[in-house]
Amino acid sequence: MVDVKHERVAQVITKFEERVMEKVKSEMARVEHQMSEKLKEKGDLEIARVAHEMKHKLKIATVAMVVVGAIVGIWTSLSV
């Protein structure tokens, strides 16, 4: 019975991780597209500002991914 529950929890975690990764990839693609469009519209001074802004957003997305991974790890360790 414990093995069945463990397997079910493992499947839920795997699906959750897949959804998170899909969302992260989608957000990164959206940010990259946004950055590309803005870079086309702005001059040299504006390019530096936009690049900094996009790097900041990507850092936030990375931190969010790490936090979600930690939550999943804690949840896994508590539910086993």
How is 9-63 classified by DSSP, letter by letter? Answer: HHHHHHHHHHHHHHHHHHHHHHHHHHHHHHHHHS-HHHHHHHHHHHHHHHHHHHH
**50: nearest Cα among 62, 42, 58, 59:** 42
**pLDDT at 29 > cutoff 90:** yes
Boundaries of every domain in the chain: 2-79
Dihedral sign, CA of 63, 66, 20, 62?
positive
**Would you state the pLDDT for residue 33?**
92
Instruction: Return the structure tokens found at 46.
Output: 């504006």
Kindly report whether the global pTM for this prediction surpasses the value 0.75: no
**pLDDT at 38 > cutoff 90:** no
Low-confidence winner among 7-11, 27-31, 48-52 (lowest mean pLDDT): 48-52
In angstroms, rounded to a whole number, what is the distance separating the alpha carbons of residues 55 and 71? 24
Q: pLDDT category, 80, cuts 50, 70, 90?
A: low
